[in-house]
Structure 1
Amino acid sequence: MAHVSQSETHQNDTNVDAITVNGTDSGAQLDDITDVDDVYNAIVYGGNHELDLFEDDEGESSQNVGERGLVPEQETPNGSSVYVPIDVPAELKPVLGSIWGSVEAAYEMYQKYAENAGFVVRKASTKHRRRGGEMTHKYFLCNKAGTSKTKHAADTLDVDGTKKPRSVRRNSNYKVTDCKARLKISKIKGSESFCVYGFDEKHNHPLGDEHNKHLSRARRQLTFEDQLFIQTVSTNNIGATKAYRLRATMKGGYENVRGTVVDYKNFKRDINMYIGDRDAQMLVDKFKNWAQCLPEFSFDFKAKNNELSSLFWADETSKCNYKEFGDVIAFDATYRTNKYNMVFVPFTGVDNHNRCVTFGAGLLKKEDIPSYSWLLQAFLKAHKNQPQLVLTDQDPSVKEAVKVEMPNSQHRLCMWHIMKKLPLKVCGDILDNTNFRQRLHKIVWNIYLKPEEFVNRWNSLMKEFDLQDNKWLSRMFKLMKRWIPAYFIDMPLSCVMKTTSRSESSNAFFQIFTHYKHTLVQFSLCFETAMEKQRHAQRVLDEHTTTTFPTLVTPNPIESEPDKLSDFVSKINKLTDETLSTLPQEPEEVLILPPSPAKNKGSGTHPGKRIPAPGEKHAKKRPRQMRECNYCHQLQDNHDQRNCPDKKAKLEAERAAKRSKFKAGRAVEESGSQAAAATQETTIPNHVAS
Structure 2
Amino acid sequence: MKYMSKVNRSISKAQKAHADDAEYSGFSMKSTVDSMSREVGGPENLGFTNKDYMNYIHRKRMSKMEKGDAGAILQYFQKMQSENSSYFYSIQLDEDNMITNIFWADARSISDYGQFGDVVCFDMTYRTNEYGRPFAPFVGVNHHKQTTLFGAALLYDETIESFKWLFETFLSAMSGKQPLTILTDQSAAMARAIQEALPQATHRLCVWYLYQNAAKNLSYVFHGSSEFAADFGNCMYDYEFEHEWLLAWNAMLEKYSLKENKWLNALFELREKWAMVYGRHTFTADMKSTQRSESMNNVLKNYLMPEHNLLRFLEHYERVSADRRYQELTADYKMIHTTPVLAVSAHMLQHGAEVYTPEVFSLFEKEFVRIHNYSTYKVGKCGMTSEYIVSYSSEHNEHLVKYEAPAHNVECSCKKFTFIGILCAHALKVLDKKNVKRIPPQYILKRWTRQAKAVSIISYRENEVHGNPKVSTGKRYGYLCRTSGDILTVAADDEELTKYAHECLV
Q: Is the 8 A contact 2:129 2:307 kept in 1?
A: yes
5 Å-filtered alignment, 1:47-66, equals none
Partner of 2:330: 540
5 Å-filtered alignment, 1:609-620, equals none
Change (3 A) 1:242 1:523: same
Question: Which of residues 196, 199, 206 in structure 2 aligns to 1:407?
Answer: 199
Change (3 A) 1:337 1:438: closer
Letter matched to residue 204 of structure 2:
R
Partner of 1:511: 301
Q: Choose between structure 1 and 2: higher helix proportion.
A: 2
Change (3 A) 1:474 1:338: closer
Question: Which of residues 266, 288, 295 in structure 1 aligns to 2:55?
Answer: 266
Q: Is the 8 A contact 2:377 2:389 kept in 1?
A: no
Change (3 A) 1:484 1:561: closer
Change (3 A) 1:227 1:444: farther
Question: Which of residues 152, 163, 188 in structure 2 aligns to 1:396?
Answer: 188
In the alignment, does 2:283 pair up with 1:471?
no
Partner of 1:501: 291
CA distance in 2, matches of 1:385, 1:326: 8
Q: Is the 8 A contact 2:136 2:154 kept in 1?
A: yes
Q: Is the 8 A contact 2:236 2:274 kept in 1?
A: no
Q: Is the 8 A contact 1:332 1:393 kept in 2?
A: yes
Partner of 1:302: 92
CA distance in 2, matches of 1:265, 1:397: 45
Percent identity between the aligned chains?
Answer: 27
Letter matched to residue 225 of structure 1:
A
Secondary structure of 1:549 counterpart: coil
Question: Which of residues 263, 274, 277 in structure 2 aligns to 1:486?
Answer: 277
Change (3 A) 1:218 1:579: farther
CA distance in 1, matches of 2:217, 2:45: 63
Shift of 1:561: 7.4
Shift of 1:254: 4.2
Letter matched to residue 435 of structure 1:
S
Change (3 A) 1:535 1:476: same
Shift of 1:498: 1.2
Q: Is the 8 A contact 2:138 2:150 kept in 1?
A: yes
CA distance in 2, matches of 1:420, 1:555: 42
**Could you list the per-position Cα deviations for residues 197-216 of structure 1 after superposition, in whole angstroms to 9, with x for gaps in the alignment?**
xxxxxxxxxxxxxxx34433
Q: Is the 8 A contact 1:337 1:517 kept in 2?
A: no
Secondary structure of 1:348 counterpart: strand
Partner of 2:72: 282
Count, aligned residues: 366
Choose 430-439 or 381-390, whichever is displaced more. 430-439
CA distance in 1, matches of 2:109, 2:140: 11
Question: Which of residues 228, 231, 234 in structure 1 aligns to 2:23?
Answer: 234
Question: Which of residues 431, 436, 453 in structure 1 aligns to 2:222?
Answer: 431
Change (3 A) 1:241 1:584: closer
5 Å-filtered alignment, 1:337-416, equals 337=128, 339-383=130-174, 384-416=176-208
CA distance in 1, matches of 2:379, 2:338: 37
Shift of 1:280: 2.4
Shift of 1:326: 0.8
CA distance in 2, matches of 1:250, 1:491: 57
Q: Is the 8 A contact 1:241 1:265 kept in 2?
A: no
CA distance in 1, matches of 2:292, 2:65: 35
TM-score normalized by structure 2?
0.65
Change (3 A) 1:488 1:578: farther
Letter matched to residue 291 of structure 2:
S
Q: Is the 8 A contact 1:386 1:409 kept in 2?
A: yes
Highest Rg: 1 or 2?
A: 1
Change (3 A) 1:351 1:447: farther
CA distance in 1, matches of 2:25, 2:162: 29
5 Å-filtered alignment, 1:513-592, equals 513-552=303-342, 553-554=344-345, 556=347, 559-560=350-351, 582-583=387-388
Change (3 A) 1:439 1:532: closer
Shift of 1:288: 3.3
Change (3 A) 1:417 1:582: closer
Shift of 1:578: 7.8
In the alignment, does 2:96 pair up with 1:314?
no
Which of the pair has the greater relative contact order for Cα pairs under 8 Å at 6+ separation? 2
CA distance in 1, matches of 2:73, 2:377: 56
CA distance in 2, matches of 1:584, 1:445: 24
Letter matched to residue 537 of structure 1:
Q
Shift of 1:281: 1.8
Partner of 2:451: none
Change (3 A) 1:555 1:231: same
**Could you list the per-position Cα deviations for residues 116-143 of structure 1 after superposition, in whole angstroms to 9, with x for gaps in the alignment?**
xxxxxxxxxxxxxxxxxxxxxxxxxxxx
Q: Which runs of 5+ in 1 are unaligned?
A: 1-211, 586-690
Give RMSD over aligned pairs: 3.2
Partner of 1:456: 247
CA distance in 1, matches of 2:142, 2:170: 19
Choose 457-466 or 510-519, whichever is displaced more. 510-519
CA distance in 1, matches of 2:214, 2:138: 28
CA distance in 2, matches of 1:318, 1:481: 30
